[in-house]
């Protein structure tokens, strides 16, 4: 037992991750070969690989895989960047001014626990079945985590930091630029990463109504036709792209907020 613990302790993290992935793939192959589960519920791995190739080259119902990814990313990133542009300034302002926070807090607290599908039908009634309602749904999903993170970050700033800056003659703009923004930046990035996770998980719901493209729509449409190979292929693509997006955000955080954890 001690030898096993010693081996695990000296094993690199990427090796453990690779081993976990191999175990999952092996279990998938065993289930497929032995026929433990129906091919409709757990398709063979070769069928999923062929579906990925087929969707990439021939497409799925009018769009290639890149076309579906592009449609989803257009909706997701449009909403994501709009959420950043509005939630960050509003969150920082609410954190500093109690009256602004009191005005916005009831709305945020009402929307935050609601599941996306609960208000998506209302958005469709107001904005139609086009991209506008889908982008708005993703926008709401992304807005609240960023806003809450910003408000929380401002509340954590020690009063002595701001008092010291004022004593040294700093004005409001300088205090915001030199104290508030650097201190809150790590928490803001945490909120941004959380918002991307919320938005990505809401993507399927956003593409449920009157869509003809997108990764979420492709998975849902394939499930209606019992195309489990396409469903698995779509889920794998969504998982991989989600990991890549999070990696990119992590790298941006390291470059833009190198002082995280050092304050």
Instruction: Based on the fold, state whether residues 31 and 131 are members of the same structural domain.
Output: no
Average pLDDT over residues 14-41: 78
pLDDT in tens, 217-253: 898 888 888 888 899 999 999 989 988 999 999 999 8
Predicted local confidence at residue 6, as pLDDT: 55
Predicted local confidence at residue 34, as pLDDT: 74
Does 156 map to a domain? yes
Instruction: Based on the fold, state whether residues 163 and 213 are members of the same structural domain.
Output: yes
pLDDT classification of 3: cutoffs 50, 70, 90: low
The number of distinct structural domains making up the chain is 2
Instruction: Based on the fold, state whether residues 166 and 239 are members of the same structural domain.
Output: yes
pLDDT in tens, 181-226: 888 888 999 999 999 999 988 887 788 776 778 888 898 888 888 8
Does 210 map to a domain? yes
Instruction: Based on the fold, state whether residues 121 and 160 are members of the same structural domain.
Output: yes
CATH number at residue 58: 1.10.3720.10
Does 23 map to a domain? yes
Boundaries of domain holding 27: 2-36
Lowest-pLDDT range of 26-30, 35-39, 67-71, 105-109: 35-39
Give the span between the Cα atoms of 166 and 181, in whole angstroms: 16
Instruction: Based on the fold, state whether residues 18 and 67 are members of the same structural domain.
Output: no
Q: Which residues pair with 63 in a beta bridge?
A: 60
Instruction: Based on the fold, state whether residues 132 and 16 are members of the same structural domain.
Output: no
Q: Which has more confidence, 121 or 16? A: 121
Average pLDDT over residues 170-182: 80
pLDDT classification of 5: cutoffs 50, 70, 90: low
pLDDT in tens, 107-139: 888 888 888 777 888 888 888 878 898 999 999
Instruction: Based on the fold, state whether residues 150 and 252 are members of the same structural domain.
Output: yes
Does 44 map to a domain? no
pLDDT higher than threshold 60 for residue 1: no
Instruction: Based on the fold, state whether residues 53 and 25 are members of the same structural domain.
Output: no
Does 125 map to a domain? yes
In the predicted model, what is the mean pLDDT of the chain? 84
Question: b/e for 189-218, b at 16 or more Cβ within 10 A?
Answer: bbbbbbbbbbbbebbbbbbbbebebbbbbb
Predicted local confidence at residue 23, as pLDDT: 87
Predicted local confidence at residue 8, as pLDDT: 53
Predicted local confidence at residue 195, as pLDDT: 93
Instruction: Based on the fold, state whether residues 21 and 66 are members of the same structural domain.
Output: no
pLDDT classification of 147: cutoffs 50, 70, 90: very high
Instruction: Based on the fold, state whether residues 9 and 113 are members of the same structural domain.
Output: no
Predicted local confidence at residue 70, as pLDDT: 92
pLDDT in tens, 45-91: 888 889 899 998 888 888 888 999 999 999 999 999 999 999 999 99
Instruction: Based on the fold, state whether residues 125 and 82 are members of the same structural domain.
Output: yes
Does 95 map to a domain? yes
Does 261 map to a domain? no
Torsion of CA 153, 155, 161, 162, to 10 degrees: 110
Does 263 map to a domain? no
Instruction: Based on the fold, state whether residues 55 and 22 are members of the same structural domain.
Output: no
């Amino acid at each position: 037992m001690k030898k096993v613990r010693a081996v695990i302790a000296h094993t690199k993290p990427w090796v453990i991750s690779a081993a976990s992935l191999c175990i999952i793939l092996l279990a998938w192959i065993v289930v497929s070969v032995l026929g433990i589960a129906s091919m409709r519920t757990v398709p063979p791995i070769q069928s999923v690989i062929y579906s990925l190739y087929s969707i990439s080259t021939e497409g799925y119902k009018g769009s290639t895989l890149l076309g579906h990814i592009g449609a989803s990313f257009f909706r997701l990133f449009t909403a994501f960047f709009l959420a950043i542009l509005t939630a960050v300034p509003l969150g920082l302002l609410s954190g500093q001014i109690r009256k602004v926070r009191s005005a916005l807090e009831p709305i945020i607290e009402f929307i935050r626990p609601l599941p996306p599908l609960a208000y998506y039908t209302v958005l469709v009634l107001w904005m139609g079945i086009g991209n506008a309602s889908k982008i708005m749904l993703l926008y709401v999903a992304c807005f609240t985590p960023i806003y809450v993170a910003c408000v929380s970050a401002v509340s954590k700033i020690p009063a002595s930091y701001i008092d010291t800056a004022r004593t040294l003659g700093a004005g409001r703009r300088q205090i915001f630029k030199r104290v508030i923004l650097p201190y809150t930046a790590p928490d803001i990035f945490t909120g941004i990463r959380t918002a991307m996770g919320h938005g990505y998980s809401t993507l399927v719901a956003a593409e449920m109504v009157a869509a003809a493209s997108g990764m979420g729509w492709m998975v849902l449409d394939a499930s209606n036709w019992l195309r489990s190979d396409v469903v698995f292929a779509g889920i794998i693509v969504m998982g991989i792209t989600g990991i890549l997006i999070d990696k990119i955000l992590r790298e941006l955080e390291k470059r833009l907020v190198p002082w995280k954890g050092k304050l």
